[in-house]
Amino acid sequence: MSTPTDATYVALVPVKPPGRGKTRLGDLPRDELAAAFALDTVSACLAARSIAQVLVVTDDAAFASRLGELGCTAIPDGVSGDLNASLSLAAMETGRRWPQLVPVALCADLPCLLADDLDAALAQRTGWPRFVADAKGDGSTLYTAPPEEFAPQFGRLSAARHADAGAWSIEGSLAGLRHDVDDAADLRTAIGLGLGAYTSGVVERL
């Protein structure tokens, strides 16, 4: 992982343990796909010039070890069942470990994420907090603010909730950053956009 002088962010990536996520993928190998989505997401974060550290929030010890081999730091889920509270605790932890960095939370299901798109999104200096709406326009895939202002609103209709809370919407096409994968239709669209190496490997075996 490079840490150039313009790297000012720490990426927070929450990852659910196997068997607890991506139920809408139906008969597809959801555990394997969810792991691949997360690996592609953190790989893009690690390659981004604007990201100095990647902190994964997960209770999956085995997967945390695998992510550690890539260069991530992992901590347990601080508030099980409450994503926003857990991310807020993780942001406080980043303030303790890396006080010079700003936390940016990303969904872990972004298999098309490109480092360049992440850098372009984080280069927009509109104000704090900031968020990226998903491709459908109602959800969010990214939220960032300094630790003292960090109050994510992920979940149903999170784009509106983030905006109502005063967060600035990050503009631009940012196709890979906006496209999270929840179901088989989303995965088909992701294939058209271009998958990361880990998800490509799983899809090729289907």
Q: Which domain holds residue 151?
A: 9-200
* Domain count of the fold of the chain: 1
In a domain, 173, yes or no: yes
In a domain, 1, yes or no: no
pLDDT tens column, 43-55? 999 999 999 999 9
Percentage of the chain with pLDDT > 70?
Answer: 95
In a domain, 3, yes or no: no
In a domain, 206, yes or no: no
Give the per-residue SS3 of the chain: CCCCCCCCEEEEEEECCCCCCCHHHCCCCHHHHHHHHHHHHHHHHHHCCCEEEEEEEECCHHHHHHHHHHCCEEECCCCCCCHHHHHHHHHHHHHHHCCCCEEEEECCCCCCCCHHHHHHHHCCCCCCCEEEECCCCCCEEEEECCHHHCCCCCCCCHHHHHHHCCCEECCCCCHHHHCCCCCHHHHHHHHHHCCCHHHHHHHHHC
In a domain, 43, yes or no: yes
pLDDT of residue 67: 92
pLDDT of residue 19: 62
In a domain, 165, yes or no: yes
Q: What is the pLDDT along the chain (206 residues), one digit of tens a residue?
A: 333 345 599 999 999 876 666 778 878 898 999 999 999 999 999 999 999 999 999 999 999 999 999 999 999 998 878 999 999 999 999 999 999 999 999 999 999 999 999 999 999 988 899 999 999 999 999 999 999 999 999 999 999 999 999 999 999 999 999 999 999 999 999 999 999 999 999 999 88
In a domain, 136, yes or no: yes
pLDDT of residue 6: 53
In a domain, 174, yes or no: yes
What CATH number corresponds to the domain at position 81?
Answer: 3.90.550.10
